[in-house]
Amino acid sequence: MADRPCNACGGSGGTFKIEYTYESDGKGGMVPVARQIYSPCSNCGGSGRIA
C-alpha cells in the first residue's frame, strides 16, 4: 500500500497555533503576549504522510 496524505492535517504535517500568556513588564505589571508556535500533527508525526 502506498503512503498517502494524512487525513488529520491534510498533508501539511502540522498547524500553527497561537499561544497566549501573560508576562511581567519589568515594572510590577503584567502584559499579554501572543506567540505563534508550530505544532506537528499527532497522527502522522509531522511528516504529512501515512502508510
Average pLDDT taken over every residue of the chain = 93
- Residue 34, burial from CB neighbour count under 10 angstroms (0-12, 13-18, 19+): exposed
Give the pLDDT confidence score for residue 1 in this predicted structure.
54
**What mean pLDDT comes out for the span 7-18?**
93
The model carries a pTM of 0.56
Task: Give 5-50 as a DSSP string.
Answer: E-TTTTTSSEEEEEEEEEEE-SSS-EEEEEEEEEEE-TTTTTSSEE
pLDDT of 2 > 70? The answer is no
